[in-house]
Amino acid sequence: MKIRMQQPVKVVVDHSLTNSILELLNKEDLSRPFIVLDKFLLEVPEVKELLETLEQKKISYKVYADIVPDPPAEIINEGAKSMKEFDADSVIAIGGGSSLDSAKGINIVASDGGKIGDYVKDESLIHDLKTLISIPTTAGTGSEMSNALVVTDKETEEKNAILSDKMLSDYALLIPELTVSLPKRQTIASGLDAFSHAAEGYLSLLSSPVADAISEKVMYLLYNYLPEAVKNGKNIEARQRVMVAACLAGWILNQSGTIVAHSEAHILGSKYHLVHGEAVAYALPAVLKLVAPIYPQKVKEIGKILGVDFNGDESPEKIGEITVKAYKNFRDNVIGLHPFADYGIGNDELVKDAEEIVNERFAGNTPVKLTKENVSELLENFG
C-alpha cells in the first residue's frame, strides 16, 4: 500500500515571533538554538525583540547570518562548522527560501558530518537531525514544509536538489507580520512561485486526489488574496492568507513534486541569474499549453480558478489557450509581473539549454514525454 498523503510538520500560525519561539523551546526542552537568517533581518524589530528576549532569559544562542541567495555549498559547510562548535541542540531558520534551505543543509552536515556535497551524491547518508523550526519571511518557496533543499555548485553553476523526509522541519511557524515589509517585486515573485508549486503539482504524474484538492485551494487563495497583498502589503489578512497558501503549496511539493516549468527555472535561473519565482511564472504558460491535451480537465479547472467561464465544447487545445490567456492576465495585469524582456536575454539563447532541462531531476514528473524538440518549443515561448 502506497501512502500518498502525509504531513509530519507541525504548523503554527501566530502573531508574535518571540512568544512563539519561547513556547516551542520550552515545549521541546531546548536551550541552545543555532539561528540561521538573512543578515538584514537582524534589523527587523520582531527579530531584534527575539534576540533581546533570549539574552534576558539567559538562553544561549548563536546567530549565523552569512546566508546569500542561491546558497553555495561553502556557506552551508561553514555554517555547519559553526553550529557544531557551538554544540547547538536545535536550529531556528528565519528568512526566505535561501535561509530555510541553508538551515536544512547546515543541520544535516552538523549532525551527520562530511560536506553538503556528500548528500547531493547520496541522500541515504542523512540520519537523525536536530530539531528544526522554520520561519518564512516570504510567502512562496514553501521550504518550511518541503522535504527538499537546493544548493548551488559555484564551479558548475548548477543548482542541485537534495530530497529526504528526514530533513523536514519539526515546526513551521507562520508570522504574517514578518512579510509586511516584503517589497512588491518579492511579494509578486514569491506568490507566483507558490502558484506554480500548486499548478505543477496538480499536473504532475505524482499527483493524487487529496493533493489535487489542496492544490486547487492554494490556487484559489492566491488568485483571491495575492493581488491585495501586492497592492497593500500592510493588509495582515491578505498576507496571512497568502502565507498559508504558500505553506500548503510547500506541502504539495512533498506529495506531487513539480514538473518541467520548475526544471526550466532551475537550469535557467542558475545560468542567467533569473529570480526563481519570476522564472517559473514565465515558464508556466507554455507548460499549461503542452499539458492541456493530456489533462484537459485539470487545465480547465485551473482556468476556472482564474475566472474563466467555459461553454463546455472547447477542444483540449482551446482549453489550453483560454487558460494560458487567463493566467497571463492574472500574472501580468492583475499582479504586475514585469516582462521577461527586462532581463535582456533572447529566447534563442534559452533554447541552447533544452537538453539539460530534459534531464533535470523534476522534468520526469511531466505527463508529456519530454524531448529536446518540445522543450525547445517551451523555451521559444518562455516569457
The helix (H) or strand (E) run that includes residue 149 is strand 148-153
Q: How far is the C-alpha of 160 from the C-alpha of 208, rounded, in Å? A: 26
CA dihedral for 298, 304, 308, 314, sign (positive or negative)? positive
Instruction: Count CA within 13 A, CB hemisphere, residue 57.
Output: 17
Distances (CA, A) of 184 to 102, 189, 224, 228, 230: 24, 9, 17, 11, 6
Which of 281, 358, 365, 354 shows the shortest CA–CA distance to 324?
281
With a CB cutoff of 8 Å and minimum separation 6, the contacts of 150 are 70, 97, 101, 159, 160, 161, 162, 266
Q: Which residues contact 381 (CB under 8 A, 6 or more apart)?
A: 285, 286, 289, 347
Contact in structure between 229 and 242 (CB atoms under 8 Å): yes
Grid cell for residue 333:
495585469
pLDDT attached to residue 158 = 76
The residue written with cell numbers 493566467 in the block is 327
Is the pLDDT at 7 greater than 90? The verdict is no
pLDDT, average across residues 293-307? 98
Q: Return the pLDDT at 1.
A: 63
- Using pLDDT thresholds of 50, 70 and 90, give the confidence band for residue 236: very high
- The C-alpha cell of 12 is what? 503554527
Residue 326 DSSP SS3: helix
pLDDT digits (tens, 9 = 90+) for 160-205: 889 898 999 999 999 999 999 999 999 999 999 999 999 999 999 9
* Cα–Cα dist 144/136, whole Å: 7
pLDDT at 132: 98
Question: Does residue 303 contact residue 287 with C-beta atoms inside 8 Å?
Answer: no
Share of the chain above pLDDT 70, in %: 99
Distance CA 360, CA 61 (A): 39
Q: What is the mean pLDDT of residues 133-149?
A: 93
For residue range 99-131, list pLDDT tens digits in order: 999 999 999 999 999 999 999 899 999 998 999
- Parallel, antiparallel or unpaired: strands 131-136 and 90-95: parallel
> Residues 6 or more apart from 184 whose CB is under 8 A from it?
230, 233, 336
Distance between alpha carbon 124 and the CA centroid of its chain, in Å?
Answer: 23
Length of the chain: 383
pTM above 0.75, yes or no: yes
Q: What structural domains and CATH numbers belong to the chain? A: 10-179 (3.40.50.1970), 184-380 (1.20.1090.10)
CB 135 within 8 A of CB 93: yes
Helices (H), 130-235: 184-202, 209-231
Residue pair 365/347 in contact (Cβ under 8 Å)? The answer is: no
Q: Could you tell me which of 147, 99, 159, 157 has the C-alpha nearest to residue 360?
A: 159
Q: Is residue 74's pLDDT more than 70?
A: yes
pLDDT beyond 80 at 379 = yes
Q: How many whole angstroms separate alpha carbon 80 and alpha carbon 76?
A: 6
Q: How far apart are CA 241 and CA 250, in angstroms?
A: 14
Give the 3-state secondary structure of residue 70: coil
Indicate whether 153 pLDDT > 90: no
Averaged pLDDT of the chain: 95
User: Containing H/E element for 37?
Assistant: strand 33-37
Asked if residue 157 has pLDDT above 90, the reply is: no
Helix/strand/coil (H/E/C) assignment for every residue in 244-294: HHHHHHHHHHHHHCCCHHHHHHHHHHHHHCCCHHHHHHHHHHHHHHHHCCC
Answer yes or no: is pLDDT of 150 > 90. Answer: no
